[in-house]
Structure 1
Amino acid sequence: MTTVTQHLSVASVIEATAQLVEEHYVFPEPAGRLAALLRLRLADGAYDVEEPADLARVVTTDLQSLNGDLHLRLKHHGQPVPAERGAAVLAAMREEFDTSLGGVPRLELLAGGVALLELAPALFPLPWSAEPLGAALTLAAPADALILDLRANTGGDPDAVAFVCGHLLDRSTHLNSMYWRDGERLEQSWSPAHVPGARFGGDKPLYVLTSGRTFSAGEELAYDLQQLGRAVVVGETTSGGAHPREGWTVHTHLEATIPVGRAVNPVSGTNWEGTGVHPDVPCAASDALDRAHALALARLDGGTAEPHTRTANAAEAPPS
């Protein structure tokens, strides 16, 4: 049985994790408090465990005890973790990409000219996913209405979020701003002015399905479209993880994942961290598809539009 002490002592894992949190966590003041907590708990014997999975569980509980940041954790990997920064998550995502048709496991034309497009289990890095995403969105473009299923989407690449939004809007639009800890530099995310293939466009009915599992970049896609007034979100409140994170290997089977930035939406002036994305039409995730399909059919049949959480527009570039 593999143990922490066979490769790296518990004390070394905790000290490495504490230093990484101090140096990189997006909020410096909580970073210092969390690092001190890890060292105190180590001295108290709270981490006297043998298995990497047990250490990951206990340390993650402590890391999330201050502000509930779900991206901040010590993550256990069953297979050995590559030493390169960020390599662990990419290796795991690549396996998921190769077994999920590139993150587009379902595209279906429902009754009444309504297309259903599921994006799961993640929005994979755009260099991998642009082709399957573009192909699926182009096939869905002629539909009279579109249901975007994010109920099983647990995160991914913000560039893929912008790429998808580019197919669902008519022009380049400011989606999000990212502030990084290193000097508080600002980085803006805009949907692309041009996309490969056909656009579904910015006018036809669009519904986004969510669940309590929807997380991170999956939440961003739902939140961005909701705040723009572009989509009606149907389902459950999402998990509530808005901070982009990076990963550092601290043991053969352990990765310290640490948020290094914070998102600010140009419409709301905030994000979904800790609160999740609240649906416009709340219902159980298992009922969300039927509910959205019924709403789409009613809308196409001339019914009234559903309420949006926000209807204000963010900054837009001139039409291309």
Structure 2
Amino acid sequence: MRLSTGILGWLVLSTMAAIGCAQAAAATPAALPPSSGGPQMAAPEAPAPRGPDGPITAAERDAAIEALARELTEKYVFPAKATEVVRAIRARRKRGEYDKIATGHALATTLTNHINEVLRDAHFHVRYSKEPLPPRQDNARPSAEELARYEQFSRRANGGFEKVERLPGNIGYLEVRGFAFPGRGFEAATAAMAFLAETDALIIDLRRNGGGAPEVVAYLCSYLFDEPVHLNDLYFRPANETRQFWTAPVPGKAYVGREVYVLTSKKTGSAAEEFAYNLKNLKRATIVGEVTWGGANPGDLVRLGDHFAAFVPTGRAINPISKTNWEGVGVLPDIEAPADDALRVAQVKLLERQIAQATDPELKASLEERLRELQPQ
């Protein structure tokens, strides 16, 4: 869910948060912190400030801190963690640790880092905007102007689908830059999978994909199965409800009976990680590349005043197979490779498999020639 900030970013993030918090399917008990079984990543650092900085008054600083404390208390997915955080930042405030902070970016960065010493939540962050942020009531619909800007963003991003082609060896290649655009994203996925329907294997590139909406993840996953499959659940604390995501019938041919490779990097985040994690646990794809970003807690962008906002994770992913998620650990690749080399590595693996199975001498020679071209010099 990491997209550009400012007014357009506010619109996009707000819309995506609303998508992620759609009405849940069934109630569950209160969520417990995930147990990943693997080493935890370091506490995430605050994202780099964006947009112009500006001065803040002591009253604005204190109001933002208190608004953030309220939002975390009411909404953060793990209540005990929220209580611990609120106690810590109020103690820092009482000691005067924030008294000398006089600019917006400095306060946003400091609060993000202090709070993530406790939360260690990849999605959580505080942002400052010198331009006043538009007020919005809970569950308010975007304005016509906001929807128009979002539609323009979606069109320019082609629904998040960047590139589709056939590689030598009849290997399909699909680069998805974002899962943020239901509607246009569905259309782009349908067109891409129709083009790739007759390929012998498929590589899905998520190395530059920062996330998006679970609906688009489920839609693309649906092409890779020919029967209903339970992909993921999202639990949300505010309503104490869980929403299930399953594969569903899609237009065109199902892409089954063929290998699928998914490319990842350290920048593969959020919903893109879900896509990789779903297929890894279902043993439907081989993951090639780097350990991913490590963010599995969706939520809401909340307004903390005229100039501050925070992304507060209100939910968490619960995989039906692992019963946990990738928060703090990322998705571990099946084949580790530097991100820049992941596509070549995946092609080599697929070509080697095709060569071993080839019975036609001319086809085998052609594949072997392509394989030699991919080998490091």
TM normalised by structure 2 equals 0.74
- 1:154 maps onto 2:206 in alignment: no
Corresponding position of 2:308: 254
**Contact conserved, 1:93 with 1:124, CA < 8 A, in 2?**
no
Q: Matched residues in 2 for 1:7 and 1:131: separation?
A: 49
Aligned match of 2:198 in 136, 142, 152?
142
Matching residue of 1:74:
126
Give 5+ residue unaligned stretches, structure 2: 1-51, 358-377
User: Are the aligned partners of 1:73 and 1:258 in contact in 2 as well (CA < 8 Å)?
Assistant: yes
For residue 98 of structure 1, report the CA deviation from its aligned partner: 3.6
Distance 1:58 1:67 in 2: 14
Q: Which residue of 2 aligns with 1:63?
A: 115
Q: Pick one of 212, 216, 221 that aligns with 2:275.
A: 221
Contact 1:102-1:124 within 8 A present in 2 as well = yes
Using the TM superposition, name which of 215-224 and 43-52 deviates more. 43-52
Partner of residue 168 from structure 1, selected from 204, 224, 233: 224
1:284 and 2:335 matched: no
**1:263-309: CA deviation from partner (whole Å, max 9, x where unpaired):** 11111111101110000000101110000011111223336xxxxxx
State the identity as a percent: 36
| Pairing 1:1-320 to 2, within 5 Å after superposition | 3=54, 5=56, 9-47=60-98, 48-77=100-129, 80-84=132-136, 96-120=153-177, 122-182=178-238, 184-192=240-248, 194-199=249-254, 201-302=255-356
Q: Secondary structure at the match of 1:208?
A: strand
Across the aligned residues of Structure 1 and Structure 2, the Cα RMSD in angstroms comes to 2.5
Contact 2:298–2:313 (CA under 8 A) maintained in structure 1: yes
User: 1: CA distance between counterparts of 2:147 and 2:278?
Assistant: 25
Do the aligned partners of 2:270 and 2:294 also contact (CA within 8 Å) in 1? yes
Residue of structure 2 equivalent to 1:317: none
| Structure 1 residues 301 and 132, CA gap change in structure 2 (3 angstroms) | same
Question: How far is the alpha carbon of 1:183 from its aligned partner?
Answer: 5.3
Structure 1 unmatched ranges of 5 or more: 304-320
How many Å separate the matches in 1 of 2:243 and 2:191?
A: 28
Kindly state the Cα deviation for residue 179 of structure 1 after the two structures are TM-superposed.
1.9
* Cα separation, 1, equivalents of 2:212 and 2:71: 22
Matching residue of 1:313: none
Contact 1:234 1:282 in 2 (8 A): yes
Q: In structure 2, the residue corresponding to 1:12 is in which secondary structure?
A: helix
Taking the aligned partners of 1:63 and 1:94, their CA distance within structure 2 comes to: 34
Which entry has the higher C-alpha Rg, 1 or 2?
A: 2
1:150-173 CA distances to partner (integer Å, 9 max, x unpaired)? 011111101111001011111221
TM-score, with structure 1 as normaliser: 0.86
